[in-house]
Amino acid sequence: MKIADECDVLVVGAGPTGLMLANQLARRGVDAVIIDRHLGPSVQTKALGVQARTLEIYSRSLFFLRYCSMAL
């Protein structure tokens, strides 16, 4: 059986965008599977910053509130 037969959405890439997309889909009851070419998380950062629109979306989610509370 193919992955596409087992989920509603296939998210390619487990970076910040792919993870946030899968998170938002799951919150709406959509079954998503994430695939990535790497076996695990990166040991170094690859992003130089976060775009304003991304911060706006994060601010509307519980993910952002939990992350900020852990950072304090």
- Which structure tokens are listed for 68? 């900020």
- Which structure tokens are listed for 66? 């939990």
Q: What is the pLDDT of residues 35-67, one digit of tens each?
A: 999 888 778 777 677 788 877 877 777 666 666
Q: What is the pLDDT of residues 15-37, one digit of tens each?
A: 878 888 888 898 889 999 999 99
**pTM exceeds cut of 0.85:** no
Say if CB 45 and CB 15 are below 8 A apart. no
Cα separations in angstroms, 34 against 10, 13, 43, 65: 6, 7, 19, 23
